[in-house]
Structure 1
Amino acid sequence: MSGRTAAAPSVGTLPAEVADAARTLAALGLVSAFGHVSARHGDRMLITPPIDLAEATADTLQDIPLDSTALPPHAPGEAWAHLAVYRARPDVRAVARATPESAFAAGAVASGTIPPLHGQGALLGDAVPVHDDARLMRSAGIAEGAARALGHADAVVLRGNGALATGGTPGHAVARMWLLETTCRLHLAARQAGAVHALASEEITSWRAAGPPLLDRLWAHLRSPGGSPPR
């Protein structure tokens, strides 16, 4: 692993989980040349390097302290975005960074937030916030702005710059990114039809109460050979 820091032995199967999630994100067509998956372990994070996610393996990951003030050599510049989310949200264990086309379109037309229009969309939060800043998140300051926009939601659309999704596991983060792509497509279709009928708060609460098992099932489907193909 030339130029990279090896994962600490104590992380167990986590490197393999991160790499599996990264390859699945690529297989789903939610990234092009750009995108990352990371996971928190203790006061550090494992993150994919700046390579095609389809080629990610456990031994390609970088191990970065959460309190870093500078990134190590060969780390992705947008590692700052992952660090900012982990610092702001102790509950978040994994982050997926992707560039679904529907997020670009929805981010350009949405007014601040994108409400869930179907039950599974509620697994992203009461609404998906839109971060109104299309700059690359290659500094701590810019990345912190995206983390603030995320707030207590489980995903955030980055206007002109893709999206971030969070989870308790790398698989859940990827499942939420897939749901975000669907949520953005539905939002665009509903706007075009002229009738955006968002879920009521009690409906959102009901779906979110069932969240973890549903995310488990969705992740198992997405990572299977017959899972949802690229859109």
Structure 2
Amino acid sequence: MSRPSAPAIRRAVIRACKRLDTKGHVAGAEGNLSARIGATRLVVTPSGRCKADLTAADLISIKTDGTGMVGQLRPSSEIAMHLAIYRARPDVGAIVHAHPLAATAFAVARTPIPKGTLAEVAGVVGPTPVVVYRTPGTAALGRAVSAALRAANVALLANHGAVAVGPTIGVALQRMESLEQAARTILAARLAGRPKTLKAAERMTLEQLWKSGAGRGLVTRAAPRRRI
């Protein structure tokens, strides 16, 4: 299958921006998204702009080593985090960082999404490590997040928000949305009573189902384990 063209990827990023805004996963200029457009370049959302108002022309192109910026606007203040993730995960084609309410509540509590509570957690979301707090926009945050994502595709950023990665912007967005839905459901279940968890064998069956591609049409391969 041929890789989408750079203009097509730009349009996909903008669609994801508008979807995040519509669903309330970002407010104002919050959040940032990026996607690879080749072996050595990516596009990233600009700093200080509402996601609902962005156009494909607003995206900034930059090399994966942080040089060669092309665009009229400043890149996201979290560009260091995006670059660090791409360096640590060559398989990642896109990154979504947002502040969905329920997932961010777990991040503020510094509590991962409980395992074995929902099929989507086992299949689409996977492990949700909580990244130690680091000042937003710093290289230190980039190092912490990229380390956590070596063995996960979603992470909670302590007192900050969440980040999801995938081979495409569509997959990264789906993981972010599934993370938020899981967080909302778990919080609601706690109000209703004491949430029950799936048995280990049941969780394993679900994980195998999603890895085979049978679950919701999304293949969610485990993130490769890499030495840090």
TM-score above 0.5, yes or no: yes
What corresponds to 1:186 in structure 2?
A: 185
Say which of 205, 208, 212 aligns to 1:209: 212
What corresponds to 2:24 in structure 1?
A: 29
Question: Which region of structure 1 is more displaced relative to structure 2, 62-71 or 158-167?
Answer: 62-71
Asked if 1:106 corresponds to 2:106, the answer is yes
- 1: distance between equivalents of 2:206 and 2:44? 35
**One-letter code aligned to 1:87:** R
CA displacement 1:58-103 (0-9 Å, x = unmatched): 1000011111279887111111111111111111101111001112
Q: Which runs of 5+ in 1 are unaligned?
A: 1-9, 217-231
What corresponds to 2:225 in structure 1?
A: none
What corresponds to 1:222 in structure 2?
A: none
Q: CA deviation at 1:139?
A: 2.0
What corresponds to 2:62 in structure 1?
A: 64
* Contact persistence 1:116–1:127 (CA under 8 A): no
Q: CA deviation at 1:202?
A: 2.7
Asked if 1:156 corresponds to 2:155, the answer is yes
CA displacement 1:22-51 (0-9 Å, x = unmatched): 111111110012011110122111011121
- 1: distance between equivalents of 2:215 and 2:83? 24
Q: CA deviation at 1:134?
A: 5.1
What corresponds to 1:18 in structure 2?
A: 13
What corresponds to 1:195 in structure 2?
A: 195
- 1: distance between equivalents of 2:189 and 2:93? 33
**One-letter code aligned to 1:178:** E
Q: CA deviation at 1:196?
A: 4.4
Instruction: Name the SS for the 2:151 alignment partner.
Output: coil
What corresponds to 2:36 in structure 1?
A: 40
* Contact persistence 2:43–2:62 (CA under 8 A): yes
- 2: distance between equivalents of 1:117 and 1:48? 34
What corresponds to 2:144 in structure 1?
A: 145
Distance 1:106 1:112, change over 3 A: closer
Distance 1:134 1:185, change over 3 A: farther
CA displacement 1:95-135 (0-9 Å, x = unmatched): 11100111222224455564252222234454211112153
**One-letter code aligned to 2:151:** H
Instruction: Name the SS for the 2:90 alignment partner.
Output: coil
Instruction: Name the SS for the 2:217 alignment partner.
Output: helix
Pairing 1:62-101 to 2, within 5 Å after superposition? 62-68=60-66, 74-101=74-101
What corresponds to 1:229 in structure 2?
A: none
What corresponds to 1:223 in structure 2?
A: none
- 1: distance between equivalents of 2:55 and 2:182? 29
Q: Whose relative contact order is higher, 1 or 2, with alpha carbons under 8 Å and at least 6 apart?
A: 1
Q: Which runs of 5+ in 2 are unaligned?
A: 220-228
- 1: distance between equivalents of 2:84 and 2:194? 37
* Contact persistence 1:119–1:207 (CA under 8 A): no
Instruction: Name the SS for the 2:130 alignment partner.
Output: strand
Q: Percent identity?
A: 30
Q: Give the TM-score normalised by structure 2.
A: 0.79
Distance 1:62 1:209, change over 3 A: same
Q: CA deviation at 1:215?
A: 4.2
* Contact persistence 1:84–1:147 (CA under 8 A): yes
